Structure 1
Amino acid sequence: MTETQQARGLFRRAAMVLAACSATAAMAQSWPAKPVHLVVAFPPGGIVDTVARQLQPRLQSALGQPVIVENRAGAGGTVGAAEVTRAAPDGYKLLMTFDSYATYSLTYPKLPFQPAKDLAPVTQIARNPLILVVNPQVKATTVKELVTLSKAEPHALNYASVGAGSSNHLTAELFKAISDAQAMHVPYKGGGPAMQDLLGGQVQMMFLSAVLAQPHVQSGKLLAVAQTGAQRVPAFAAVPTVAESGYPGFEVHSWVGLLAPAATPKPVIERLHQEIKRIVQDPAFAARLQEQGLSGIANTPEQFASALKTESQQWAKLVRERQLSME
């Protein structure tokens, strides 16, 4: 190949890169030009759906286009996630999910997509601690009493989860690991059946998101024993943390986050992040989150990606060490 041919080849490649960059920039400047769909990977009424519907009118106003919330529940959130991976990477179909996303590779080894490759983190919108709740029939009101009871009667306590690999499953196992508490895992196929049996006393305890625990604790149908954050949240100001209860360093949060199909233009992802950050930092919106035990995050796409990687590695380590069944 002559020097002239090499130069022409380099010129063509440079022109192609420039054209691609120009097209991306043009699309980002015109985005959004039509409705944006938020695919909620869980049923109505849960924490992800709640945050999505509180975010929707404000995001719609910020973007100047309709924002449509669509519930696509099933298989622990993977049905909705898979739908978004198949969407065009143009910013018009986005995924709202929560912390179980970090354990998909553990729980669903035969997924039709790869979470780390097929979806791009946009931002973690908000997080809240999990609340360790017990049915009032349980003769324990503190973490110390609960651990003591579990050791004295090893088969007396069962804990519910919304499925193997869920945050309430793994948090309970982490709690058992540090406290040597004894409790049997009872997985359910969703929060509704789990809550029904917890309220009915068929299972005795569960780590619930603060949003879901709050009304049942306020009504006296469940007793809050501890919360899993580093500090107490205002909605549960009288409830000690697990760390305060004798297990320093224990900290787990449930979170709600937004992801987009991989290859979505970076300017679109950055615009979404900036708009959500403004919403989350608005005092009225922040106060509404706080009332539900949530705190806003709105971290950067890079910070969200790093947090996902760290969380996935931590839970994988626990699964190996505890030899936990993910079925």
Structure 2
Amino acid sequence: MNITRRSSMGAAFGALGFAALPGLARAQAAFPDQPIRMIVPFAAGGPADLIARVTARVMSERLGKPIVVEARAGAGGAIGVDAAAKSRPDGHTIVMASSGAIVILPHLQASMPYDVQRDLAPITQVLAVPQIIAIAPGLGPKNLAELVAMAKARPGALSFGSAGVGSSLHMAGELLKIRAGIDIVHIPYRGAAPAVTDLLAGRIQVLAADVPALLPHVRAGSVPALAVTSAERLSILPDLPTAIEAGVPDMISETWYGLLGPSGIPADRLATLARAAQEALRDPQTRDALIAQGGRVVGSNPDDFAGFIRQTSATWRDVVRTNNIKLD
């Protein structure tokens, strides 16, 4: 009798053990099970840092774990992106990358520490910030068509500034040269701020700069803005036409920011991260803060973001080859 009772109890405990296995598996598969590290490949306090922190706030709430924003600046964003690409692919390390390190630098440098297609897993595109095409005060043209006509009449006489060779501002100017069929001379600066200063002083004639860099001057009337390089007009500058509306076909150039992780993140974890990011981007407070940066909030899924990366990478590859652009 005792043996029978012990056997029955053992069987019962065994059954309970097997019944508990699914619950145990779910507990082991819970994600995230620790704080998430969000690398920002630029210095703290800049646009990428702000975008990361604004997005991380609601993402953290949705995921139920803290998101620690970590600055890893250098090499135009490549150092931080490389750190993310080489991290453990468990979903606990992601990077708020910008377009430069993902779709521009790989076509300008002979060797990169990472391969975008092989080493990175797109999660979602967060924000796209177009450029404003502006000219020096007193230059004369009242619209982009008149600027193009001036440049064609005086090949090589006009100059455009940028934040440095290979920057998104530089590439916007090079794309304008191709799309409009004009010859204007590139003048690189160490950042957008000195380029804006020289535009105001008339030392350069043209500048295509991200919206936040030029917006205060455009609103103050200190520089003439001719067009914006997005597909649609901006809500914060509704009277400013797009470059396409102004007569330059396919003139779309944006500095974009997006979340990526190392390749190999399990599909369910990638989907969880994308869903949390998309929910954050639907949050009104988050959207308002991002739109204030002069951008368009996106929130794409991983497959669409991957396709967008391939498409824009091909565009900038062709610009680099056509204009024979090389890093100094």
For normalisation by structure 1, the TM-score amounts to 0.84
Find the aligned partners of 1:221 and 1:41 in 2 and give their Cα distance: 33
The aligned counterpart of 2:71 is 71
The number of residues matched between the two structures is 304
Q: How does 1:1-327 map to 2 (within 5 A)?
A: 29-100=29-100, 101-327=102-328
Change (3 A) 1:45 1:86: same
Query: In terms of mean alpha carbon deviation, does 129-138 or 187-196 score higher?
Result: 187-196
Find the aligned partners of 1:227 and 1:181 in 2 and give their Cα distance: 18
Conserved? CA contact 1:28–1:268, under 8 Å: no
What SS class does the counterpart of residue 136 from structure 1 fall into?
Answer: coil
Q: CA deviation at 1:276?
A: 0.9
Query: In terms of mean alpha carbon deviation, does 271-280 or 261-270 score higher?
Result: 261-270
Find the aligned partners of 1:120 and 1:162 in 2 and give their Cα distance: 28
Q: CA deviation at 1:193?
A: 4.1
Find the aligned partners of 1:60 and 1:202 in 2 and give their Cα distance: 46
What SS class does the counterpart of residue 236 from structure 1 fall into?
Answer: coil
Find the aligned partners of 1:28 and 1:159 in 2 and give their Cα distance: 56
Change (3 A) 1:107 1:248: closer
Change (3 A) 1:280 1:164: same
Conserved? CA contact 1:162–1:189, under 8 Å: yes
Find the aligned partners of 2:136 and 2:55 in 1 and give their Cα distance: 33
* Structure 1 gaps, min length 5: 1-21
What SS class does the counterpart of residue 81 from structure 1 fall into?
Answer: helix
Q: CA deviation at 1:137?
A: 4.4
Find the aligned partners of 2:194 and 2:74 in 1 and give their Cα distance: 15
Find the aligned partners of 2:89 and 2:51 in 1 and give their Cα distance: 23
Moved over 6 A (4+): none
What SS class does the counterpart of residue 290 from structure 2 fall into?
Answer: helix
Find the aligned partners of 1:42 and 1:90 in 2 and give their Cα distance: 23
Identity %: 32
Q: Deviations over 1:197-245 (max 9, x none)?
A: 4444433322222233323322344332100112101111111111111
Give the alignment's Cα RMSD to 1 decimal: 2.4
Q: Deviations over 1:82-122 (max 9, x none)?
A: 12122222222211111212122212222122122111111
What SS class does the counterpart of residue 234 from structure 1 fall into?
Answer: coil
Change (3 A) 1:246 1:50: same
Find the aligned partners of 2:117 and 2:227 in 1 and give their Cα distance: 33
Larger CA Rg, structure 1 vs 2: 2
